[in-house]
Structure 1
Amino acid sequence: MDAALELTVSGIKRIAAVGPLAIPVLNLARSQVKSRLGYREIADSCLRRLRALIPDRKIIGRKVLLLGYGTLGSRLAAQLRDLGCRVDVVDTDLIALIDAAENGYATYRTAAQALAASTPFLIVGTTGEVALTDADLTALPDGVFLAPFATRDFSALTEGPHRPAATDIPGVGLRFTLPGGRTVIVLGDGRSMNLFEADSIPSQGYDAYRASTLIAAAALCADPDRVPAGLHTAPADTAITDAGLWDAYYDLYAAPGATGRPAAKPAGLTGERPQAVLRRAAIVGYGVAGRLHTEILTALGATPAVIDPKHQDLPASLRSFPHQVSDLPQAVAAGIDLWSICCPTAEHLPVLRAVLAPTRPPAS
């Protein structure tokens, strides 16, 4: 191995823990693109997912305990306060804690101190570390919701001795019963909650980070010896700036008259090579990815048919089917040239089986 790129903060922490490195590692997790653009989209995704999972609960005006005031936590704190929540902050980093205090939040060094001082209805974890210890569990209010936006924050519950006795709440999370009869609900499945049964971050919102990753990888591969061994952020930031990504992003989304649409079709959509005729396409799942695929396939000349069992804002302008693939009329299925499976990942294999069922004609 000549070099590596790391995209996540948790990965950076693991790399830092192993000691001196023998190869260069570019730190995309702390790159300017992810810090300045990516985390805004991540925080927006987190808050939208939170409200979607507990739509029947009052949030405005209520007490929220935020564990971690880093790049993500500080943005979530501001969004929760703008929503009307009363936000308390815990962080072991004193610089971050001072920053939170000077931004007007009640601050505590430990979760135990915060729980002794107030009774939150919601605890949000963004640390990427064990944010609630076994001792902290005894102080949790009855009925509190735990929202993990980093996998390890509530691992004392999701990976500890309490996990086997947890009750699954379909589509919501896990209910734990603690000593004394108190119950707490971990929203999602213990991993980052905005990725739980959702499309997560809109494709357009994260494309700049994906592009920056490719740019950094290309620069590193072109001359891996140029970057010394160790963990680095500056070479990635320099390569991304030199490639013109910031200029392209500004022109696309922020400049006067910006439309959010590229001026030309992406490379590869047109060219001299003959293209297979694409007349009919079926898009299964009309979430963020499904909408994007519908737009792309329409631009390529296909007539899309949309299938979505959840009836997610099915387009009136296109032929749509609010049921399962197996229920699709045979006459319609026979004319499909390409299937685009855009439903949640856990449903991909069952949908693929339905598409490839013996009664279905061969398709791409």
Structure 2
Amino acid sequence: MPWSTPFLTSLSIRGAYPATLPWLTTRDFVFDYLIIRAGFSASVIAERLATQSGKKVLIVDKRNHISGNAYDHYNEHGILVHKYGLHIFNTNSCEIFEYLSRFTRWGSYEHRVLASVDDQLVSIPINLDTINKLYGMDLNSFEVEDFFKALAEPKKYIYTSEDVVVSKVGRVLYEKFFRGDTRKQCGLDPSELDKSVIARIPTRNNRDARYFTDTYQPMPLHGFTRLFENMLNHPNIKVMLNTDYLEIQKAIPCREMVYTGSVDEFFDYRYAKLPYHSLDFEYETHNTQVFQPAPVINYPNEHLYTPMTEFKYLTGQEHSKTNIVYEFPKAEGDPYYPVPRPANQEIYKQDKALVDTRAGSHFVGRLATYKYYNMDQCVDQAFSVYK
């Protein structure tokens, strides 16, 4: 179903100045917290404050929907798609899984990715089958471990993403799988990026083709947006969409603030604009039940786009048609991923010094802390800030 619920729709602001709304003119109605944006970090903190602490919370978002970049919706053909590219939930935390289970039922899923390399589709992360198929060999787990060691270039110190890969699997596999992909996505060579960018991608000597090995990796049965709707469905939580918080922060009294937007934007780019990776998306609907042999196919070298995702693998939806999305990296646009480089961290440190001077303001999430977080890490950080 398209995103819409009575408790939220009634609070959406479409061109109306907030002070004209009846519920804003009550003098003694004061919110305890103003929360900027409605993604994972913001929504978890709002839910905890409302349900556990009895606080009154106002969430404000410039967009016309909740859920942040995890927003999903049904397209014109009735296919559930992710508006801002692929989002996969995975965690090893029982606490986080059980918490989110209060707001959604789950569908079974294990994420698998193929990479187009040397005119073949092979498993990524690199595993035993990847090597055997790529090189036409029949190695076992012990032999492939020796194969990796023979290719590896030992490094005394690991500083960059290039160091991470070549020290594990050598320069040939680095060029085939990682360098082109990283340059497209980040606009930078892996040798220019912090080791953390690629360190999360494992190399395996077995046939495990799962992208993640976390204990919990299901997908919300009815989508992420429904999960957020349930999370925010509380009388102490009000939501204003299509609204810049700068337009209402003086009109609506709040005791404290939780900010989950870009930290440099909050301070009006006092020192410099922090670089972020952005993305463009192109969606296609095809008159076939299945379009490609895996949920995601990466194209590290041969196209301008990087992954191609088919959503029905993720959602388990039964439909006579299917939808795919191409992701095109770009340097400018909506901020998606921080760029971990020493120079950028120096800029962030200056912003962080300003953050530390603001009593009653809490900066949470990927953009506000200029750090890459998975969804479960956003939830975990939100728990910590709430406590």
> In which range does the TM-score fall when normalised by the shorter chain?
under 0.3
Q: TM-score normalised to the size of structure 2?
A: 0.22
Structure (1 or 2) with the larger CA radius of gyration:
1
Larger helix proportion of the pair: 1
Q: TM-score normalised to the size of structure 1?
A: 0.23
